[in-house]
Amino acid sequence: MFAIIMDLDDFKNINDKYGHLAGDNALARVAELLRNNCKDSDDFVARLGGDEFIIVGERTDTADIQKLLDRISKDVISYNNRSELDFPIKLSMGYAVLEKNGTRSSLLAAADRAMYRNKQERKSLND
């Protein structure tokens, strides 16, 4: 079992600068993009709340999970290149695979930590 946790970078800024309707539209675009990337699998996609989303599935091969992350990243870039939005969609993403004696809570915590590491790496590249 694996979990990917992601959030929409600068979501508060999107709401503050462009309005809540623009923020809601961005969330809807992310949800659509994630559903499209998981439609041919048994992966479960959900919004955790706010600007966070999760994908959960039965895969354990990290290369396969990384391919999913890469497809999502490519689709975000493609979407931004043709988008009608006044701002780009940017996602921070992290994943974890359930350890042998792990729990759902430990899986989610590990994926959350990985997402925050990715967010920090992306911020340091933009500074």
Q: Catalytic residue numbers? A: 51
Write phi, then psi, for 76 (nearest 5 degrees): -65, -45
Quote the DSSP letter at residue 93: E
Quickly tell me which residue has 């359930």 as its tokens.
98
CA distances from 115 to 39, 74, 91, 96, 119 (A): 23, 18, 9, 10, 6
Quickly tell me which residue has 């042998």 as its tokens.
100
| Spatial contact of 10 and 126, defined as CB atoms under 8 Å apart | no
